[in-house]
Amino acid sequence: MSIATSLEALAQIPGNHEISSLTVTDAERLSGALDAQNFEMVKQMFATYGYIRLEKLFDVAQMQVWKSYYFDKYAWFMQRTKAPDRRPTVPLSIEGPFNSASLLRNPILDQIITHFLGQYILGALGSVISFPGAPDQVLHRDSSPLFSQDNETDKDLPYFSFNMLLPLVDCTRETGRTRLWPGTHKIATKEEGLLVGSLDPDLSVGSVLLTDGRLLHRGAANVSNMVRPILYYSYQKRWYQDQFGYSKRPRILLSRREFDKMPNPLKEILAWTHSDFRTLKVKHAILKRLPTPVINMLASRL
Rounded to 5 degrees, φ, ψ at 92 are -115, 115
User: Per-residue pLDDT averaged across 266-279, rounded?
Assistant: 77
Nearest residue to 266 (alpha-carbon basis) of 92, 128, 94: 94
Question: 20: how many CB neighbours lie within 10 A of its CB?
Answer: 23
Per-residue confidence band for 248, with pLDDT thresholds at 50, 70 and 90? confident
Contacts of 29 (CB under 8 A, 6+ apart): 56, 57, 59, 108
**DSSP structural state of residue 76:** G
Structure confidence at residue 162 (pLDDT): 97
- Nearest-angstrom CA–CA distance, 287 and 99: 35
Same domain, 157 and 277: no
**CB-hemisphere CA count at 13 Å for 81?**
22
Structure pTM? Answer: 0.89
Report the pLDDT value the prediction gives residue 149, as an integer from 0 to 100: 87
Classified as helix, coil or strand, 288 is coil
Distance, in Å, from the CA atom of 119 to the CA atom of 136, rounded to the nearest integer, reads 35
Average per-residue pLDDT in the chain? Answer: 90
First to last CA, the chain: 59
Q: How far apart are CA 265 and CA 267, in angstroms?
A: 6
| ∠ CA 138-140-144, rounded to 5° | 135
H helix count then E strand count, the chain: 11, 9
Domain boundary among 253, 274, 289: 253
Percent of the chain scoring above 70 in pLDDT? 90
Buried b (16+ CB within 10 A) or exposed e, 254-270: beeebbeebeeebeebb
For residues 163 and 269, membership in a common domain is answered with: no
Same domain, 270 and 242: no
> Do residue 95 and residue 229 come from a single domain?
yes
Q: pLDDT tens, 42-85?
A: 999 999 999 999 999 999 999 999 999 999 999 999 999 999 99
pLDDT at 80 (0 to 100): 92
Who has greater pLDDT, 276 or 205? 205
- 40 and 183 together in one domain: yes
Residue 281 has pLDDT above 80, yes or no: no
What is the mean predicted confidence (pLDDT) over 268-296? 61
pLDDT-derived band of residue 7, with 50, 70 and 90 as boundaries? confident
Task: Indicate whether 10 and 132 sit together in one domain.
Answer: yes
| Domain assignment of residue 296, given as a range | 262-302
Clarify whether residues 93 and 19 are in a common domain. Answer: yes
Inter-residue contact 237 to 199 (CB < 8 Å): no
94: helix, strand or coil: coil
CB 92, CB 69: distance < 8 Å: no
Dump pLDDT digits (tens) for 195-246.
Answer: 999 999 999 999 999 999 999 999 999 999 999 999 999 999 999 987 777 7
Q: What is the pLDDT of residue 262?
A: 96
Confidence of residue 279 (pLDDT cuts 50, 70, 90): very low
Specify the number of domains making up the chain: 2
Same domain for 117 and 32: yes
At 185, phi and psi to the nearest 5? -70, -15
CATH number, domain containing residue 246: 2.60.120.620
Mark whether 51 and 196 lie in a shared domain: yes
Q: Could you give phi then psi for residue 76, rounded to 5 degrees?
A: -60, -40
Band (pLDDT 50/70/90 cuts) for residue 170 is: very high
Helix (H, G, I), strand (E, B) or coil at 53: strand
Least confidently predicted of 85-94, 177-186, 253-262, 289-298: 289-298
Is residue 296 domain-shared with residue 178, that is, in the same domain?
Answer: no
As a whole number, mean pLDDT of residues 121-130 equals 96
Q: 177 and 84, same structural domain?
A: yes
Identify whether residues 198 and 272 lie together within a single domain: no
Do 240 and 161 touch, CB atoms closer than 8 A?
yes
Residue 63 identity (one-letter amino acid): M
